[in-house]
Structure 1
């Protein structure tokens, strides 16, 4: 044991501990856990199952990472939780391993912020630079692309995809897919526009924002079904950001879409 392991922590035989790892008092690290270099578990953190935590990730007290899925179909099969680099995981966060029916892996990308009390369920695929605010919950099999923000006390229904750069307002229930760069709010989740603040903060060029505005109007008011409007957009656009929406809408999904009002 290195000097970074508190004497009141429990590290089970078989756990792999990288360089410069800190494990605080009353943490419990299971035998199949991998903590990469520079991981910090502050105190009272439980990491169990086949869980890997990436370099430089900071976990605050009372988080439970790698618990079994909250899914009645789970029969004890081997599954994993993979958490990327430089994440900040706050108090009482829970992240579960995957299930056989969902591919067996719950995956979290790099540089995320998971605020107190939020939940990432089995088989979720969470991208980079994602923020999940206090007490928000992702149900099983959700796909959350890069740079998404999910507001506090919100819930995302199982199998829902949320496209890159979208923002979900607080106290919102999301039951259908959200296009990239969309803005969703209201208790039952309405697509109210584009995440213009986020686009500007990321330095997206004015011409791309203008193209996104025009694309949103076409999706809202154009002729034909929603997918047909997206196909026409794909034929007409030269914007990388509009192309992200087109590819998302035409991709595989088990849900319908939140569409512009």
Structure 2
């Protein structure tokens, strides 16, 4: 027998703690469990058989499909019950069987996802990860703890990203890539461990990059990966690109800042 949905949009079989803060427009599917410290803003839909717990805040107009587990404690033996958080922005699509953990006291205590991200099935986002906007995570993508993913990143299916690794804006991983070092902006990588193969030129064209900006990205790729330069030499050559490609100044600055902040222990994907 199918039970009717409650007038509020919360199915009669869902267990929503009375202390949870749900906008009146939120819909919740059958057999979903929502804990006392959860907040969900207007227009978000939550499918059947989900568990949303912990100190979790979810923004507007998200589509959360069935069988997701959001806001669970971190997979960190040091965690001792501290009130850490999971914060999800607006207009994200989260497909089936994803797991997003709250942060840990060893970092900022927050796992954060921005806006307009497309998250496919079986994705794991570990504690203290920071995900930007407009990303795509294909099926079975796994982020270790403390990973930072910038805007417009695309991760191919079964990609694994080591803890504390950073992925620069517009970067791209092929299927089954294992990313053990920081991946600079625009770079496409593949392999186990991942190696740089090209730049994400097609993605940049689709996002409206001009021919001049794409030429600058090609020159950055050449300096980093084809000219046999050290990283310091490559940075000097990249810095000079704004003279020939003035329009690309923000892209060049983004690349240089990323390279300056690259992990000295892990380096960059080369």
Query: Residue 207 of structure 1: which of 207, 212, 230 is its match?
Result: 212
* CA contact 1:159–1:255 (8 Å) conserved in 2: no
Name 1:244's counterpart in structure 2.
254
- Residues 1:225 and 2:230 aligned together: yes
Q: Which runs of 5+ in 1 are unaligned?
A: none
Q: Which runs of 5+ in 2 are unaligned?
A: 1-5
Name 2:94's counterpart in structure 1.
89
Name 2:85's counterpart in structure 1.
80
CA-CA distance at 1:233 after TM superposition: 1.8
1:22-77 deviations in Å (ceiling 9; x for gaps) = 01110000000001111101111110000011100011111000000011121211
CA-CA distance at 1:189 after TM superposition: 0.4
The 1-side partners of 2:123 and 2:90 are apart by 19
The 1-side partners of 2:195 and 2:262 are apart by 22
Question: Which has the higher mean CA deviation after the structures are superposed, 204-213 or 228-237?
Answer: 228-237
CA-CA distance at 1:232 after TM superposition: 3.8
* CA contact 1:43–1:61 (8 Å) conserved in 2: yes
The 2-side partners of 1:79 and 1:66 are apart by 9
Alignment of 1:10-25 (within 5 A): 10-25=15-30
* CA contact 1:123–1:141 (8 Å) conserved in 2: yes
Question: Which has the higher mean CA deviation after the structures are superposed, 22-31 or 182-191?
Answer: 182-191
Name 2:138's counterpart in structure 1.
133
The 1-side partners of 2:215 and 2:136 are apart by 26
The 1-side partners of 2:238 and 2:35 are apart by 50
* CA contact 1:227–1:250 (8 Å) conserved in 2: no
Question: Which has the higher mean CA deviation after the structures are superposed, 181-190 or 1-10?
Answer: 1-10
* CA contact 2:241–2:252 (8 Å) conserved in 1: no
Name 1:198's counterpart in structure 2.
203
- Residues 1:255 and 2:266 aligned together: yes
When residues 13 and 3 of structure 1 are mapped into structure 2, their CA distance, relative to the original with a 3 A threshold, is closer
Query: Residue 38 of structure 1: which of 17, 20, 43 is its match?
Result: 43
CA-CA distance at 1:3 after TM superposition: 2.2
Number of residue-to-residue matches in the alignment: 259
Q: What TM-score, normalized to structure 1?
A: 0.95
* CA contact 2:223–2:229 (8 Å) conserved in 1: no
- Residues 1:28 and 2:33 aligned together: yes
The 1-side partners of 2:260 and 2:49 are apart by 45
CA-CA distance at 1:251 after TM superposition: 2.1
CA-CA distance at 1:13 after TM superposition: 2.3
* RMSD of aligned alpha carbons: 1.5
1:63-113 deviations in Å (ceiling 9; x for gaps) = 000000011121211100000101000100000000011110000010111
The 1-side partners of 2:111 and 2:81 are apart by 15
Q: What TM-score, normalized to structure 2?
A: 0.92
CA-CA distance at 1:115 after TM superposition: 0.5
